[in-house]
Structure 1
Amino acid sequence: MNLQLDEQGRLKHLLTTEGLPRSLLERLLDRAEPYARAAEAGFKKDPLLVGKTVVNLFFENSTRTRTTFELAATRLSADVVNLQVAASSTAKGETLLDTLKTLEAMQADLFVIRHEASGAAHFFAEHAAPGVAILNAGDGRHAHPTQALLDAFTIRRHKHKFEGLSVAIVGDIVHSRVARSNIHALRSLGCTDLRVVGPPPLIPAGIVELGVSVEHDLMRGLDGVDVIILLRLQKERMVGAFLPSLGEFHRDYGLTRERLARLKPEVLVMHPGPINRGVEIEGEVAYGPQSLIIEQVRNGVAVRMSVMAEILANTQ
């Protein structure tokens, strides 16, 4: 049985987009839409989760993800606790399981967890008490499901469909949990032309088995695409000489104004952030008219509200 779903097929935890049915993904996107529209109209508060407690448990540094999760929970009227892990008992040798059980004793309802180890969110979900939900905010190289959902939400708001779209994911694929989560989500939602583009050392072996094509030449990989999802080089995860230099990566794979001008005029540019200016993207492109990077951050709040509402509504 899928650890993420209960006996009725409802969302219990969100750990990965892999294996989630299209109907559930679409329901989460649909549920995010009124939250996004309400925020655009200046209405930001919903009483749905009054009395619920959400704990942000971040073992890795984060700005956008942690802040948007905090905003999402607050706008749903939940009580929010941000645990500073470096200053917590884990720094004194407390195990992950001890930390979870201690916080459960404080009657937390949902844990938003980011951890450097792949599989950490599954570990927490396997050991969580009944009625306690786990939401994966990124685990190692494995998964970042809410990023994939907000990317899909952003694409749907502009393109209105997934069938027939061509999407290229460019850059450091091998270290990217965002790439994997996007591939699973977009495939489930009906996108059949998914491409990964990057230098051979940054393309994981066997990725074609996920239903994508591989291209090592940037402009061939971007030919005819509707959406470009750029990824930052995760230098902190690299061991050994993956690349000759950042300058050479920008020369071969950086999205510049000149390269963008050679593509379809309606192509959209996305990036999960943080961006490396002058490496994977030129600054003028990052904030140009075809860029959705700021919109992705804004949509992240609505999508994370949707996920929390979906999960915690099942525990009322």
Structure 2
Amino acid sequence: MNSTHSALPRHLLTLDGLPETALSALLIRAQAFAEGHYDRRALDGIAVCTLFFEPSTRTRMSFQLAAQRLGADVLNFDASTSSTRKGETALDTLKNLEAMGVRGFVVRHHEDGAVAALAGHVNPGTVLVNAGDGRSAHPTQGLLDMLTLRQAKGADFSRLKVLIVGDVRHSRVARSDLQALRTLGAGEIRVCGPAALLPTDATLQGCVVSQDFDAALEGVDAVMMLRLQRERMDEGLVTSLDDYHRDYGLTAARLRRAAADAVVMHPGPINRGVEITDEVADGPQSLILTQVRNGVAARMAVLEALLRG
């Protein structure tokens, strides 16, 4: 892992700018973990805290499992039952935990840039992993998605046509996936969704952008569906859930437009009957639960690389 250590930044805040060599090394290491090859004492004596100021199921649980499998002491911070309800700032919370000897923090926050701001105030030797901040980034989700694609389609991404569908504007997952796909040299990246849910900044640079889902599906190797993030959007961006499903919901009939061996992905939680039907989510082309399983391996790779560096 020395090559990964040297190429990785001190904290993992984003996949933007991460060298291809470091990203690929993390994926190779994560694959080894997925196959059960790891040292259960790799992080022995190191305390890791999941510092979540936003609800989470998959990300929090998989980080806890990842740290435990590597032998770390794991602390689970829940903002709803902590002193943050009494007015304590996120930075004061982190500094107090740091004073107790915590070396690794896995942070989720509702504000863009919040994790990077915290990283600017930690002690030498403390490392932070961004577990999702606002709409900005979710780097370990990007890693586990790339690991899942790599397992299904091979290491050569230049042959792949990948389609990301839905609420890209509010999706930190989409941003991290797009950054990773570009870094790994994906042959064609397509993005589809209603105009109101597509970003107007440089997020979609280099992508083939469409509002016609049926046309965008033609011949793709992977379809990455996104959750409709109603909690992050202004009213009126979607006329109705029924209309959204009619225009952008992935059904078995629609999926037949993709390549015969196309795979379906979704970061969860799923809005069944909105962005995807039960038949597709639970069908033979779905890798949704594989993504969840790979989340543990990808996060093990990140924790090992940062905390043993």
Decide whether aligned partners of structure 1 residues 63 and 208 sit closer, same or farther in structure 2, where only a CA change above 3 A counts: closer
Match of 2:118 in 1: 124
Alpha-carbon distance, 1:10 to partner? 3.5
Decide whether aligned partners of structure 1 residues 280 and 142 sit closer, same or farther in structure 2, where only a CA change above 3 A counts: same
Alpha-carbon distance, 1:33 to partner? 1.2
Match of 2:175 in 1: 180
What CA distance in whole angstroms lies between the structure 2 residues aligned with 1:76 and 1:261? Answer: 42
Alpha-carbon distance, 1:206 to partner? 3.0
From 66, 72, 86, the counterpart of 2:60: 66
Deviations 1:196-233 (A, max 9, x none): 10000000113465321210000111111111000010
The answer to whether the aligner puts 1:232 opposite 2:230 as a matched pair is: no
Q: Quick check: 2:42–2:71 contact (8 Å CA) kept in 1?
A: yes
Deviations 1:115-152 (A, max 9, x none): 00010110111111110000000000000000000000
The answer to whether the aligner puts 1:99 opposite 2:93 as a matched pair is: yes
Match of 2:196 in 1: 201
Q: Quick check: 2:217–2:255 contact (8 Å CA) kept in 1?
A: no
Decide whether aligned partners of structure 1 residues 275 and 174 sit closer, same or farther in structure 2, where only a CA change above 3 A counts: same
Alpha-carbon distance, 1:44 to partner? 7.8
> Alignment identity in percent?
53
**What residue identity is the alignment partner of 2:249?**
G
Give 3-state SS (helix, strand or coil) of 1:163's partner: helix
Alpha-carbon distance, 1:11 to partner? 3.3
Match of 1:219 in 2: 214
**What residue identity is the alignment partner of 2:33?**
Y
Give 3-state SS (helix, strand or coil) of 1:252's partner: helix
Alpha-carbon distance, 1:261 to partner? 2.1
**What residue identity is the alignment partner of 1:86?**
S
Deviations 1:48-75 (A, max 9, x none): 0000000001101000110000000000
The answer to whether the aligner puts 1:266 opposite 2:261 as a matched pair is: yes
Alpha-carbon distance, 1:9 to partner? 3.7
4+ aligned runs moved over 4 Å, structure 1: none
Number of residue-to-residue matches in the alignment:
305
Correspondences of 1:248-267 after superposition (within 5 Å): 248-267=243-262
Deviations 1:150-170 (A, max 9, x none): 000000011112112111100
**What residue identity is the alignment partner of 1:212?**
C
Bigger shift: residues 111-120 or 201-210: 201-210
The answer to whether the aligner puts 1:83 opposite 2:77 as a matched pair is: yes
Decide whether aligned partners of structure 1 residues 10 and 180 sit closer, same or farther in structure 2, where only a CA change above 3 A counts: closer
Deviations 1:252-302 (A, max 9, x none): 110001111232110110000000000000001001000000000000000
Which structure 2 residue ranges, 5 or more long, are not aligned? none
RMSD between aligned alpha carbons? Answer: 1.5
**What residue identity is the alignment partner of 1:303?**
A
**What residue identity is the alignment partner of 1:105?**
A
What CA distance in whole angstroms lies between the structure 2 residues aligned with 1:281 and 1:168? Answer: 14
Decide whether aligned partners of structure 1 residues 192 and 207 sit closer, same or farther in structure 2, where only a CA change above 3 A counts: farther
Q: Quick check: 2:175–2:203 contact (8 Å CA) kept in 1?
A: no
**What residue identity is the alignment partner of 2:105?**
F
Q: Quick check: 2:7–2:21 contact (8 Å CA) kept in 1?
A: no
The answer to whether the aligner puts 1:309 opposite 2:307 as a matched pair is: no
Match of 2:271 in 1: 276
Match of 2:31 in 1: 33
What CA distance in whole angstroms lies between the structure 1 residues aligned with 2:305 and 2:31? Answer: 13
What CA distance in whole angstroms lies between the structure 2 residues aligned with 1:193 and 1:29? Answer: 21
Give 3-state SS (helix, strand or coil) of 2:158's partner: coil
Q: Quick check: 1:14–1:134 contact (8 Å CA) kept in 2?
A: yes
Match of 1:156 in 2: 150
What CA distance in whole angstroms lies between the structure 2 residues aligned with 1:210 and 1:147? Answer: 20
Match of 1:21 in 2: 19
- TM-score normalised to structure 2 length: 0.96
Q: Quick check: 2:219–2:257 contact (8 Å CA) kept in 1?
A: no
Q: Quick check: 1:11–1:310 contact (8 Å CA) kept in 2?
A: no
Deviations 1:71-114 (A, max 9, x none): 00000010000011111111111112211111110110100000
Match of 1:299 in 2: 294
**What residue identity is the alignment partner of 2:165?**
V
